[in-house]
Amino acid sequence: MIRCCSSTSALLRQSSSRRRCQHSVLHYQQRFLTTFDNNNDDSVLFHPRHGLLRADGTPINEGNNNNHSSSSSDNNNDNASSSSSSSSSLVPSSGDHAPRYSHLQGLPMAQRPIFPHFPTSVLIKDPKTIAALEQGQYVGAFLRKSTTATSTTRNKNKIHDSSSTIVNSPPEVLQSVHDLHSVGTLCQILKMTSLPDFMNQQQQHQVDHDVNTTTSNNHVSLWILGHRRLDLTGVENVGPPVDLSVHHWEKLLVPPTDSIRALTNEVVSIIREVAQMNTLFRESLAWFTNSVDFDDPYRLSDFCAFALCKSASGDELQAVLEERQAEARLHLVLVLLTKEREVAKLQQEISQKVEETMTEQQRKYMLQQQLKSIKQELGIEQNDKDILLQKYQRLLEINNYNAEKVDPEVAAAIHQEMTKLETLEVNSQEYTVTRSYLDWLCQMPWGKSSPPATITTKQAKVLLDQHHYGMKEVKQAILQYLAVRKLKEQQQQQQQQQEQKEEDGTKERAKGRRRKRSKAKSKVEDTTGAAAADANKENDAKSSTTSTGTTSTSTNETNKSNSTGTILCLAGPPGVGKTSIAASIAQALGREFYRFSVGGLSDVSELKGHRRTYLGSMPGKFIQSLKRVGVKNPVLLIDEIDKLGHAGMRGDPAGAMLELLDPSQNHAFRDLYLDVPVDLSDVVFVCTANDVHQIPGPLRDRMEIITVSGYDLPEKVAIAEQYLVPKALEAAGLVVKKKKKSTTEDENDDNNKNGVEITKDAIESLARWYAREAGVRNLSKFIDKITRQLALSVVVSREEEEEESDDETRTANNRDGDDDDDDDIPIIKSSVVTAENLSDFVGKPIFTSDRLYDKDPLPLGIVMGLAYTSMGGSALYIETQAIVDSKKSNKFTVTGQLGDVMKESTQIALTVARSFLEQTSSDIIASSTVVDPNFIDNHSFHLHVPEGATPKDGPSAGVTMVTSLLSLALQQPCASNVAMTGEVTLSGKVLPVGGIREKTMAARRAGITVLCLPNANQRDWDELPSYLKNGIEVHFCENYHDVYRVAFAAADDATNRFFLNK
């Protein structure tokens, strides 16, 4: 409402300014017209710079004749003085007394024509035209045609100046002889004023009043007076300046007739009507009334077209100028005035609507404010600030806020902000900032926590096993944490009980002392005794308060010092249940759970908040999570922490995590938005990662990393039977959740499953040939797809049964329709999913074989290795081909999208293979085996790792690469049931690698029976469950000779004897 009023006042001020400007112009025109009517001397001459002169050359001025000379002398210092220097009274030769030249300099007009007997101002920009105007006194003003004028006003017509820069063409420059209308006006130059070119900011303009020294950088304002109409007979020169041939009109006389009188009266009537509605129209009429003869229809028409028809176009005014008949000219003017009347009516209606709307809004606003004040006086309604402050008090009570127990800085901040809110205006910007800040402060759970867990360790274990299979290490860590919490809670309860007993004893002793003192001083006066008793009470209260405060302070300090914090990091491949186990942890601990992901997060402000000085600032994710859960001790899951963004322009998120996840620092975490310490020591942080090596070292040291390995085939089958299949059947509506009633299990199965079943063989085939990843995410997707197909078959069978119960005619018709539907929607009639019909539900198998090469032995140069990735373990074949190199360039090409570490392993493998052949070639040559000792030097090699679209890196394929090269050099194939892994050094020593569990599972999946592992990984092998080790012959190797003995067991006897002797 206030904005409406202010904008209206601005419009009124602008309108008043325009009226004052128009008053000055009209005053000058009125003064000129009055002087012009009183002086019709034909001997008056005009000079463009010195004004009007008499026949003897003396200037005609209103006052002192020296005004012009004095102002002219000052003109070199100030451009504005040029306007006042030529303020002499202008007494030109008028109308029919003006000379009749046949050749005149043309003055093209851009928007409106000039009418006789009325002065106007014209701005001239062209230097050549200005120079020509300074030499003459009369010009022929002709309106440019509408198309040319329009293009000129829109700056479409451009010319090039001497400096080859494009400038706008001024209106007085013609492009064609046809640009001008045929009728114009003879005009006399009354005044010429130089104006600086404000558009050119690079040059300093100085106004020179000398006619012969006018600079080309100035614009000129002409004050001209129209005398009579002209006919354009020809354009002698387009110019600039424009040279025209003209023919002067004779004075038009018209006898008064009834039609002309009627038209004149109608024109005058419309003028009066418009003058009542439009203020500017009325003021223009008042200025020109004395100089207009309303009995002359020609003069009246020109006056209306020039002074009153402001909204008329140039072509409409040109039509009035060209019309010779008085009656027709009055008709044209009458049409223009009628348009002005309609515009004035529309403007008046708009003004009235705006005024009515503003008045109504002001009225409603005033009434609302009065009603609000009355309600506040009667106590019916409170102030907005009071309501807001009461809301904050309720929020603090909900969150168990106690100013004595929280950090003093927090209590001071809340009190300070509430006090400041009472003094701020509601419409101020600071009020909004303070209110947002208080919203966050008051909704934080300063003293609200989840109650201690009453669940036992056995119950917690059952709860964890209920939703997750395996993961013994994770469950063991949770049970350990739960046991520690229980012991600490018991210690705190015992300590609080002891403190309570001490406090009760202190109060009893204080009461006993007061009773003794009262008996001893019973004879003292009442006033003295009362004063002493009050003093004793105060002392006792102070002592008890001091002891209580000391005890509570010591308790808080003890709790903070004993707060160890828990930051678990679950590392493993995708789909193994890292995120879901975190929710089970919160359920076992009886706490609230909140999850957020930091994958790809690169802005520190997302973690530590934004400063309140920024627009749209808010706290970080940790403060937001505490507000969401409403307690200060939740379980927070930080997902994908290994994909945290790197340091950049917006800070280092990993560095910000150090403060948050460090138990020795997060008890006083300071968010940039709240700017008060927040205790995060009671929060249980659980992080998930696929690759712990991607986590920065300082951050990784603050975590307890628990590796969650992938699942092998038996584990996947067990997970599917116990968790995935029941969940999918229930989600598809095939199973109703069982209720604890006295019903047999068989009846429940028959009623709930609708006869559908997924056999164990089908699950095993599904995990083996469709979902080989380390997790069970894809396995769950395939099971969901099967259950949806089973649901469709159940629904279709039920619909068919309902149709069969109808009469025979409808049954026959519906069967015909069903046959058509069956062609469009394939329905599987079987309700039992087995390994044989599994492909009908999920399509053809994705994996047709466990091995890339099924032949035994493998081709020369091909050896099976084992790899461990973030997706789990997999078989990794190494393929090598040798090409005879006559130039002995010894090229070694590596393909398969290998990383830098793996490329270095290929170079090490080549060196180890060459060294191996040189050390053993003499003994091998002596045997029956024919081996070229210079095989590696005489050949170029190409080593490739299949599945080139998958990036590969790591040193664990070193022994496999050496074996592949030796297979070519010795012409000995490797056994197909042998797989190996291990890093090799230049001396041939085999170093340990990681991921033994995952690699063993990959070997079992590929049907490997002989496995070569580094000797240092024997401890990892011993920790594997027995079902993974059954059926696999493992060999622990110290150096590559041990690997060779196993890989080439089918070599000739001489070779075997040689290595046995070595």
Of 191, 632, 716, 999, the active-site residue reads 999
Tell whether the torsion through CA atoms of 885, 887, 890 and 893 is positive or negative: negative
The DSSP string of 887-952 is T----EEEESSB-HHHHHHHHHHHHHHHHHHHHHHHHHHHSS----TTTTTTEEEEEE-S-TTS-B
Pair type for strands 138-143 and 51-53: unpaired
Cα–chain center distance at 95: 72
Find out whether 835 and 760 touch, Cβ atoms under 8 Å: no
On whether the CB atoms of residues 653 and 597 are closer than 8 A, the answer is no
Residues facing 184 on adjacent strands? 230
Rg (alpha carbons) of the chain, rounded to whole number: 51
- Catalytic-labelled residue, pool 85, 88, 793, 956: 956
For 172, how many CA atoms within 13 A lie in the half-sphere containing its CB? Answer: 26
Instruction: Render 24-64 in DSSP notation, one character per residue.
Output: HHHHHHHHHHHHHHH---TT-EEETTTEEE-TTS-B--SS-
- Tokens for 372? 């609000």
Work out whether the CA dihedral 64, 68, 69, 75 comes out positive or negative: positive
Contact indicator for 123, 219 with CB cutoff of 8 Å: yes
Give the position of tokens 């919160």.
586
Closest CA to 665 of 705, 698, 628: 698
Distance between CA atoms of residues 982 and 904, nearest Å: 14
By CB atoms closer than 10 A (0-12, 13-18, 19+), residue 258 is: exposed
Distance CA 300, CA 267 (A): 9
The sign one gets for the Cα dihedral 150, 155, 158, 162 is positive
Three-state SS for 188-226 is EEEEEEEEECCCCCCCCCCCCCCHHHCCCCEEEEEEEEE
Helix H, strand E, coil C: the string for 550-603 is HHHHHHHHHHHHHCCCEEEEEECCCCCCHHHHHHHHHHHHCCCEEEEECCCCCC
DSSP letter at 78 equals: -
List residues bridging with 183 in a β-sheet.
Answer: 231
Six-digit token string for 700: 């990784």
Number of other residues whose CB lies within 10 A of the CB of residue 103: 11
Question: For residues 854 and 977, is the Cβ–Cβ distance under 8 A?
Answer: no
Short-list 182, 252, 195, 262, CA closest to 223:
195
Q: Concatenate the DSSP letters of all residues of 620-686 into one string.
A: -HHHHHHHHH-SSS-EEEEE-GGGPPPPBTTB-HHHHHHHHH-TTTGGGEE-TTT-SEE--TT-EEE
Of 686, 462, 731, residue with least CA distance to 579:
686
Contact between residue 189 and residue 139 where contact means Cβ atoms under 8 Å apart:
yes
Q: How far apart are CA 681 and CA 1040, in angstroms?
A: 51
Please state, in angstroms and rounded to a whole number, the distance separating the CA atoms of residues 602 and 622.
16
Whole-angstrom Cα distance, residue 656 to residue 637?
17
- Residue 21: count of CB within 10 angstroms of its CB: 10
Reference 163, options 124, 202, 106, 194; nearest CA is: 202
Q: Confirm whether 84 is a catalytic residue.
A: no
Task: Find out whether 940 and 883 touch, Cβ atoms under 8 Å.
Answer: yes
999 assigned to active site: yes
Active site amino acids: 956, 999
